[in-house]
């Protein structure tokens, strides 16, 4: 049994489960109501590894669900080729953000947009459909001229978005998507694609070297816009890129989170934008069950993680840590003990990163240890578990660490995508970590339940049960 000393709250675990400090009964009631959140995206009725059968159409018929919409894709005035692409991807109906954002995005003259919607609710398709609809591919010259530029904070996300645009536009003749991420070997002399996706630093470099020509650009998208604008380096690069684009460019900013101070900044970056915003307490995805687990210290965290290995490999899982060093250490220890785990951090070379993420997407690697580099945007539908090995935190030298709610939300949002269900477990090994987790819980006015038992067979059974039936709450209030 985890000790109270571990989190140092002075409360019994029982109290913490039944009355988490910041959790409201509303939050848990809402989660109870959302029985439908077990559904799976893609086809209308699917069966997961856990033998869950729920209809996506049920979710999309519920006005309170972010996947709800009254319209069909046909109603949004998209071209037959694009509609064909959506059918091939088995997108039957738009989600709420797609239904709301698209008419505003497609309107002429083009208007800027700041769009917010919960993780995994289809923001990529929302901006992709706008891009595809605005492309002119009639002449050779136009086909070679970059007309839309998408910036993302990581190489993996830029590649993923490039893949979605290619797939959605695959019935459009002459569409091609160029990548502007750090490349090894010889660079092309020109990036001649109507759509370019990349990371800000490389894009800036390619523009400066006139490899990427921007005079025909019509749309600029910043995915994970709050993160891009908030980080000193990335933010500066985004501003410099934008300054080199035609003044008429339509600026589209999307994210699941826009903190107040960033919203103000975003409004400057995308002036006179149409805004779609969510309230703080609307941000959590109901299909994701959130738990914490008390650990005595760092070594105990590691031992617990190893105990979880069986559970982590039932489907796919992501383990988030704060530093590259921790990621490397855990990977090494687990590998030595005979477990198969992959690791991806910013320190890994580009082509190897591509291989690792592709292996994870294809299910060749099932457990991925990573840092915040992959906390945002990555969409791998088989991920049913996210572990916060370290609580996401803000760290400034000389100041106490504080919880980082935005990063927490993005990390746990790697599971529970488009109506699927998932479990997020945060490891708590000190009073400081406990406080940070409570800050996060309070910020979202959500419920993070404690796992009381240390009987791992029991935990495994319960996690599987939760994934099967997220309505079954309170399962973890079991003392060993
Ligand atoms: N209308 C739709 N019907 C069915 N599936 C959809 C639809 N729209 C998107 N999806 C699927 O939902 C998943 C999540 O979409 P996406 O990655 O765009 O989410 P997001 O809102 O950008 O999330 P995040 O904030 O985490 O980046 C993807 O696998 C995508 O293929």
Query: For 364-415, how does the pLDDT look when each residue is reduced to its tens digit (9 = 90+)?
Result: 999 999 999 999 999 999 999 999 999 999 988 899 999 999 999 999 999 9
470 band by pLDDT with thresholds 50, 70 and 90: low
3 band by pLDDT with thresholds 50, 70 and 90: very low
Ligand 1 atom with minimal separation from the 121 CA: 21
pLDDT for the residue numbered 6:
34
pLDDT for the residue numbered 58:
73
| Ligand 1 pocket, residue 254 CB under 6 Å | no
**Cα–Cα distance for residue pair 162/194, rounded to 1 Å:** 12
Out of 35-49, 155-169, 335-349, 416-430, pick the least confident: 35-49
Are 20 and 440 spatial neighbours (Cβ–Cβ below 8 Å)?
A: no
Sheet holding 316-320, edge to edge: 342-344, 367-370, 316-320, 383-388, 422-428, 288-294, 449-450
Are 425 and 433 spatial neighbours (Cβ–Cβ below 8 Å)?
A: no
Q: Based on the number of CB atoms within 10 Å of its own CB, is 298 exposed (0-12), middle (13-18) or buried (19 or more)?
A: middle
| Ligand 1 pocket, residue 117 CB under 6 Å | yes
319 CA to centre of own chain: 14
Q: Above 60 in pLDDT, residue 476?
A: no
| Ligand 1 pocket, residue 413 CB under 6 Å | yes
Distances from the Cα of 55 to the Cα of 41, 43, 117, 125, 158, angstroms: 9, 9, 21, 21, 31
Q: Residue 280: CA atoms inside 13 Å, Cβ hemisphere, count?
A: 12
Out of 56-70, 131-145, 332-346, pick the least confident: 56-70
pLDDT for the residue numbered 155:
97
Using the mean position of ligand 1's atoms as its centre, give its distance from the Cα of residue 67 in Å.
10
The residue whose CA is least distant from atom 4 of ligand 1 is 91
Q: pLDDT averaged over the chain?
A: 85
Segment 175-198 shows an average pLDDT of 93
**Cα–Cα distance for residue pair 444/186, rounded to 1 Å:** 47
Using the mean position of ligand 1's atoms as its centre, give its distance from the Cα of residue 399 in Å.
37
Using the mean position of ligand 1's atoms as its centre, give its distance from the Cα of residue 457 in Å.
33
* 284-479 topology per CATH: Rossmann fold (3.40.50)
What totals of helices (H) and strands (E) does the chain contain, helices first? 20, 18
Which has the higher per-residue pLDDT, 467 or 187? 187
Closest CA to 418 of 167, 48, 59: 59
Ligand 1 atom with minimal separation from the 413 CA: 26
pLDDT for the residue numbered 391:
98
pLDDT for the residue numbered 227:
95
Percentage of the chain with pLDDT > 70? 86
Supply the ipTM of this predicted assembly.
0.99
pLDDT for the residue numbered 299:
95
Ligand 1 atom with minimal separation from the 89 CA: 31
**Cα–Cα distance for residue pair 342/214, rounded to 1 Å:** 38
| Ligand 1 pocket, residue 377 CB under 6 Å | yes
9 band by pLDDT with thresholds 50, 70 and 90: very low
Mutate to test the pocket of ligand 1, among 417, 420, 421, 424 (most ligand atoms within 8 A of CB): 417
Using the mean position of ligand 1's atoms as its centre, give its distance from the Cα of residue 42 in Å.
10
Selection from 28-32, 148-152, 454-458 with the highest mean pLDDT: 148-152
Place of tokens 């090894």: 184
The vertex-22 CA angle with 17 and 27, nearest 5°, equals 80
Give me 209's structure tokens: 């070297």
Using the mean position of ligand 1's atoms as its centre, give its distance from the Cα of residue 435 in Å.
32
Segment 232-246 shows an average pLDDT of 93
Which has the higher per-residue pLDDT, 98 or 20? 98
Are 104 and 215 spatial neighbours (Cβ–Cβ below 8 Å)?
A: no
**Cα–Cα distance for residue pair 425/12, rounded to 1 Å:** 19
Using the mean position of ligand 1's atoms as its centre, give its distance from the Cα of residue 118 in Å.
10
Q: Based on the number of CB atoms within 10 Å of its own CB, is 309 exposed (0-12), middle (13-18) or buried (19 or more)?
A: middle
Reported as a single tens digit per residue, the pLDDT across 115-151 is 999 999 999 999 999 999 999 999 999 999 999 999 9
Query: Which value, to the nearest 10 degrees, does the dihedral of the CA atoms of residues 461, 371, 117, 250 take?
Result: -160
pLDDT for the residue numbered 377:
97
Q: Above 50 in pLDDT, residue 322?
A: yes
pLDDT for the residue numbered 454:
80
**Cα–Cα distance for residue pair 66/250, rounded to 1 Å:** 25
The residue whose CA is least distant from atom 1 of ligand 1 is 94
Q: Report the interhelical angle of 96-106 vs 123-134 (nearest 10°).
A: 30
Segment 181-195 shows an average pLDDT of 90
Q: Residue 367: CA atoms inside 13 Å, Cβ hemisphere, count?
A: 19
Q: Above 80 in pLDDT, residue 250?
A: yes
Give me 288's structure tokens: 């994701």
Using the mean position of ligand 1's atoms as its centre, give its distance from the Cα of residue 381 in Å.
10
pLDDT for the residue numbered 459:
82
Q: Above 50 in pLDDT, residue 245?
A: yes
**Full-model pTM:** 0.87
Reported as a single tens digit per residue, the pLDDT across 414-449 is 999 998 989 999 999 999 999 999 999 999 999 999
Using the mean position of ligand 1's atoms as its centre, give its distance from the Cα of residue 85 in Å.
15
The residue whose CA is least distant from atom 14 of ligand 1 is 120
Distances from the Cα of 195 to the Cα of 57, 174, 217, angstroms: 32, 11, 9
Backbone angles phi, psi at 336, to 5 degrees: -60, -35
- Choose the CATH number for 13-278 among 2.60.40.770, 1.10.10.10, 3.40.190.10, 3.40.50.300: 3.40.50.300
pLDDT for the residue numbered 172:
98
Closest CA to 239 of 198, 201, 196: 201
The residue whose CA is least distant from atom 26 of ligand 1 is 119
Q: Do domains 13-278 and 284-479 have the same CATH topology?
A: yes
Ligand 1 atom with minimal separation from the 418 CA: 12
pLDDT for the residue numbered 333:
96
Using the mean position of ligand 1's atoms as its centre, give its distance from the Cα of residue 119 in Å.
8
Give me 248's structure tokens: 């008429």
| Ligand 1 pocket, residue 379 CB under 6 Å | yes
Per-domain residue ranges of the chain: 13-278, 284-479
């Amino acid at each position: 049994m985890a000790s109270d000393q571990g989190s140092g709250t002075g409360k019994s675990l029982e109290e913490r489960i039944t009355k988490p400090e910041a959790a409201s009964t509303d939050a848990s009631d809402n989660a109870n109501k959302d029985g439908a959140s077990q559904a799976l995206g893609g086809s209308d009725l699917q069966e997961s590894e856990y033998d869950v059968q729920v209809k996506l159409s049920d979710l999309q018929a519920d006005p309170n669900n972010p996947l709800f919409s009254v319209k069909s894709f046909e109603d949004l005035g998209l071209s037959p080729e694009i509609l064909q692409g959506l059918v091939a991807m088995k997108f039957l109906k738009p989600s709420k953000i797609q239904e709301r954002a698209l008419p505003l995005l497609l309107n002429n003259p083009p208007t800027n947009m700041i769009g917010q919607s919960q993780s995994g609710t289809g923001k990529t398709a929302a901006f992709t459909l706008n891009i595809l609809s605005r492309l002119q591919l009639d002449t050779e010259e136009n086909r070679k001229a970059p007309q839309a530029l998408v910036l993302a904070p990581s190489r993996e996300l830029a590649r993923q978005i490039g893949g979605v645009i290619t797939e959605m536009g695959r019935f459009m003749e002459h569409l091609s998507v160029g990548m502007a991420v750090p490349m090894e070997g010889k660079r092309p002399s020109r990036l001649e694609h109507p759509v370019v996706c990349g990371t800000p630093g490389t894009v800036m470099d390619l523009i400066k070297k006139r490899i990427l020509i921007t005079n025909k650009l019509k749309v600029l998208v910043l995915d994970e816009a709050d993160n891009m604008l908030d980080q000193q380096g990335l933010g500066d690069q985004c501003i410099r890129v934008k300054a080199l684009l035609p003044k008429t460019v339509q600026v589209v900013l999307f994210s699941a989170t826009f903190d107040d101070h960033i919203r103000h900044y975003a409004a400057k970056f995308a002036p006179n934008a149409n805004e779609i915003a969510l309230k703080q307490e609307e941000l959590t995805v109901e299909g994701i069950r959130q738990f914490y687990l008390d650990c005595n210290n760092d070594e105990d965290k590691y031992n617990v993680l190893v105990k979880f290995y069986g559970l982590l490999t039932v489907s796919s899982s992501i383990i988030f840590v704060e530093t590259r060093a921790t990621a490397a250490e855990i990977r090494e220890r687990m590998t030595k003990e005979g477990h198969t785990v992959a690791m991806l951090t910013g320190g890994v070379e580009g082509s190897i990163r591509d291989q690792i993420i592709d292996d994870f997407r294809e299910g060749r690697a099932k457990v991925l240890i990573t840092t915040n580099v992959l906390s945002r945007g990555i969409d791998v539908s088989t991920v049913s578990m996210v572990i916060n090995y370290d609580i996401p935190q803000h760290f400034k030298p000389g100041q106490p660490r504080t919880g980082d709610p935005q990063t927490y939300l993005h990390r746990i949002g790697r599971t529970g995508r488009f109506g699927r269900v998932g479990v997020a477990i945060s490891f708590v090994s000190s009073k400081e970590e406990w406080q940070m987790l409570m800050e996060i819980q309070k910020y979202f006015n959500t419920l993070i339940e404690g796992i009381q038992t240390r009987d791992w067979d029991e935990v495994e059974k319960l996690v599987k049960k939760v994934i099967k039936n997220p309505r079954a709450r309170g399962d973890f209030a079991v003392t060993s």
